[in-house]
Structure 1
Amino acid sequence: MPLYLTEDDVGSLAEPADAVPVIEACFRRMAAGAVEVMPRRRFAIDGGAFAVMAAVDHDLSVAGLKSYTVVDGELAFVVCLFELEGGTLQAVIEADRLGWLRTGAASGVAAAHLAAPDAASIGLIGCGWQASSQLAAIRAAVPGIERAVAWCRSPERLAAFCESNGAVPADGPQEAAACDVVVTATTSKDPVLRGDWLRDGVLVCAIGANDPRARELDAQVITRAAFVCCDSIEDAKLESGDLIDPVAAGQLDWLEVHELHEVVAGDVSGRQRDGDVVVFKSNGIAAWDVAMGHELVRRAKERGVGRTL
């Protein structure tokens, strides 16, 4: 019988620091060719969209899909996992928090492999739901991070975020951008980060815009970057306005864009010099959902969490 996990169940089973090694292992399996990924597809519906994305992880012997709706600004997520042996439905997982965990963890993996060796500060532009897991996962992955600076357009949200997450409120986005690791986690359609704000040696993790019509990074961020990578080039060509527009303008070539799993596996050297500006563009891929779902089910069975359907 399949296991059903609620959002509260997921919250009781894992924190962002727990998710970092899970997603790092997923990247290593991707590099070894053990994972197949289907990019997200969105269907227009009244008031919003319905999205589906899927992956098969042969090493974990599990396949799965994440589907979700966005209707009038409200979202609902679910991940379904299937065992490859026998093809049975293994679990149904409410997946808002699961997505929060895996998205933050992916940036944590990027920071572990691409941040400058002496990185000690992190700046966040955006103070919403995703920003908190970004901060927690990167702190776990880069123990040298001592200072966090955050900025968003709402003073009330900024104050609440900083109090809850041990961050310092910035006077403007330039102050958050003057850190060793900079995360953009916004819903903006227009750039929120300018390349001339960045110090040498910065790692930029851009996680907010996964629409070809939206950008969080201005052109100078990309032109300053010595190394650009993403989670999936196939997906980036469909969703990453932050990369699609610079390629169209001749500021970047897709042949210059790498995938993070190449760096994790040691197939590609990401940072050549301490002073390099490095960009990780994250859209979110189903391989992470499957890997995180598999780990949650394992923990749930060990701890007796969830209910069978």
Structure 2
Amino acid sequence: MITYVTENDVEANLPIKECIEELRNAFKSYGKGISDAHPRDRIIKDRNVLNTMPGLYQDKHLAGLKTYYSGEKGIHFVVIIFNTEKPEDLYILEANALGRIRTGALTAMVTSEIVKKRRINFTLIGSGYQAESQFLAMKEMYEFENAYVYSKNIEHARSFAERFGIQAAENLDVLKKSDVITSITNSNSPIFDYSQLPEKYHINLAGSNFPTRREAAKDVLDNSETIIVENYVQAMKESSEIMDVNNKEKIVELKDFIVNKENYKGNKTVFKSMGIGLEDVAAGYIVLKNMGIFNF
């Protein structure tokens, strides 16, 4: 039996806080060797790109993948999930909103594993479609002493700030007083460098999975103490920031970090997020559970 889940269904059944905690569970399972995921694969021909991202969430008896096509006529995302206890049951979820929500939930989850104080100063770089879930997810985990949004287009930043009751930053001087910084842009060149950062920080770089793009200057990662990625092989293919790190030994996969945090110390951390299929399967599980379709 095939069940089709629409964007409206996803938005109604994927609370950010619940997604944060399910992603935490999924990566603990991954770190223990129970669940698994493979790097993104891309078929590129002319202007046509087919992306596939497989993942197995064994704890919930689910296996599937996120797949999306982009071309001259646009882009469309779906997540396809099999029930491993009953493989004839197949679930197809529209996944534009799902991807946006789980991307925000993931950076908030990783941040909460590192930054333990409850009140923080937070700066969000970027004010586009993906920025909203980044802000809302972080708000689920922290109280804000101060919260700022910066965009190269100050009017966009002001509009975002007005919607969410935070401050629009006219420049990046606010980074010096930020505990947590999240960047979610499509920039092709660095937006900030190490000289602009405070003595202690956690940074989420969430805006790109193409090596032609870059949000942080090389010296940010070279001076950071721990760099977290979802999948090392994927990061070395898709992220210019990760490719350029001088000391690759300080790069750790999230699955290993989350089950062995005591091995990774430091007050300067970076999470480079690019997305893997396990995240989408875990987010899809929440949608299906909340719709009453199944509950493992």
Confirm or deny a common fold (TM above 0.5). Answer: yes
Instruction: Give the drift of 1:268.
Output: 4.2
Give 1:84-233 correspondences, 5 Å limit.
Answer: 84-115=84-115, 117=117, 120-141=120-141, 143-176=142-175, 178-233=177-232
Cα separation, 1, equivalents of 2:199 and 2:271: 16
Write the distance in 2 (CA, Å) between the matches of 1:116 and 1:73.
Answer: 45
Counterpart for residue 51 of structure 2: 51
> What is the one-letter code of the residue matched to 2:286?
E
SS of corresponding position for 1:228: strand
Structure 1 gaps of 5+ residues are 304-309
SS state at 1:49 partner: strand
SS of equivalent to 2:135 = helix
- The one-letter code matched in structure 1 to 2:214 is R
SS in 2 for 1:82: strand
Task: Give the match's secondary structure for 1:189.
Answer: coil
* 2:289 aligned with 1:298: yes
1:161 to partner: Cα distance: 1.3
The one-letter code sitting in structure 1 at the alignment partner of 2:80 is C
CA drift of 1:297 comes to 0.5
**Distance (whole Å) between structure 1 residues aligned to residue 73 and residue 270 of structure 2:** 29
Contact map agreement 1:271 1:278 (CA 8 A) in 2? no
- CA gap 1:297/1:111 in 2 versus in 1, 3 angstroms: same
CA distance in 2, matches of 1:39, 1:67: 12
State the alpha-carbon separation in 1 of the partners of residues 170 and 128 from structure 2: 17
Q: 1:21-36, aligned counterparts within 5 Å?
A: 21-36=21-36
**CA drift at 1:293:** 0.5
Partners in 1 of 2:72 and 2:169 — Cα distance? Answer: 31
2:292 aligned counterpart, secondary structure: helix
After superposition, the C-alpha distances for 1:212-262 in whole angstroms (9 at most, x for unaligned) are: 23221101111221111111112112212111022xxxx222x22112222
2:247 is matched with which residue: 238, 248, 252? Answer: 252
Aligned length: 294
Distance in 1 between residues matched to 2:103 and 2:193, nearest whole Å: 23
* TM-score, normalised via structure 2 length: 0.92
Tell me: CA distance 1:115–1:72, structure 2 relative to 1, closer, same or farther (3 Å).
Answer: farther
Cα distance per residue 1:77-121 (max 9 Å; x no partner): 000100112322431100011111111111111111112636511
1:288 aligns with 2:279: yes
Q: In the superposition, relative to structure 1, how do residues 73 and 185 fare at CA in structure 2: closer, same or farther (>3 Å)?
A: farther
Instruction: Say what the alpha-carbon RMSD is for the aligned residues.
Output: 2.0
Which AA in structure 1 matches 2:240? Answer: G
- CA separation of 1:27 and 1:271: change in aligned 2, threshold 3 A: same
User: 1: CA distance between counterparts of 2:161 and 2:278?
Assistant: 31
Cα distance in 1 for residues equivalent to 2:42 and 2:36:
19
Matched AA of 2:50: F
Aligned to 1:39, the other structure's residue is in SS state coil
* In structure 2, distance between residues paired with 1:46 and 1:68: 16
Mapped to 1, the partners of 2:128 and 2:264 lie a distance apart of 29
TM-score (norm 1): 0.89
Per the TM alignment, residue 46 of structure 1 is displaced from its structure 2 partner at its CA by: 4.5
